[in-house]
Amino acid sequence: MNPKKRREIFSLLKQSNPDAKTELLYNSPFQLLIAVILSAQATDISVNKATRKLFSVASSAKKLSKLSIKTIETYINTIGLYKTKAKNIQLTSKYIEDHYNGAIPHDRYILESLPGVGRKTANVILNTIFGDPVIAVDTHIFRLANRINLAGGSSPLEVEKRLTKLTPKEYLIDAHHLLILHGRYVCKAKNPACSNCIIYDLCEFNKKTKKVFPS
C-alpha cells in the first residue's frame, strides 16, 4: 500500500470518528490500567460491567490493594481468567500504591514489569493517558492491518512496528483508537461490513475478494 492511500485511509477514519477513544469506562489513569488488564480475552462491555461494581468499592490503588484476592474475584468472576486477573490487579495495585503513591508511572519498562501488564497494555496506557504516539495492537488491529494490507506482519509486535513506521505522523496518536473501532464494528472477523465501510474504495481486501457493492 502506498503512502498516499494510507494517509487517505486515516483521513477518512478520522472524519468518520473524530473523537475516537477507548470504550472502557474509567475515572482515573489507575482505573484505566485495571480495566485494560481485565480486558485481555474479554469484551469491553463485560469489563465495564465488572469494573462498575469493583470501582464502586475500590476506586484507587490503595483501596484495591487492601481487598483480598477472593473478594476481588467476586466482582470480576464474569470475566475470563478472573482468578489470575484478580491476583494480578491486587499485586499491581499494591506495587503502584507502595512505590508511586497510587499514580501511574510514565515509563514503559515499569509498566511492563507490573503483574498482568504486557506490551499491549502498556501501549494503551502510554497512548491514552500520556498521549504518546504508540499503537497497541490487539486482535482487531492485527486482523485489520493484515486484511487490508495497511501494515502486514506475522506477529502483533511486527504489525506494531510497521504501523508505527508507516502511519502518517499526524495520525499516530489517534491511530490505535481509529483502527480498533473500525475493526470492532466494521471490518469484523466474520462477515465484515464492506458495504458500509468508509474506506472500501481504498481497501486492498476487496480487490482480493472481488466484492462489488453499489455506490
CA nearest to 38, candidates 83, 94, 71 = 83
Whether 138 is a known active-site residue: answer: yes
> Active site residue: 5, 49, 83, 120, which one?
120
Residue 214 in grid coordinates: 453499489
Cα angle 69, 72, 77; round to 5? 110
Buried b (16+ CB within 10 A) or exposed e, 137-150: bbebbbbbbebbeb
> Active site residue: 21, 53, 138, 169, which one?
138
Residue 151 in grid coordinates: 501494515
Whether 161 is a known active-site residue: answer: no
Residue 137 in grid coordinates: 495492537
Q: How far is CA 52 from the centre of its chain?
A: 19
d(CA 207, CA 184): 21
Which residues are part of the catalytic machinery?
120, 138
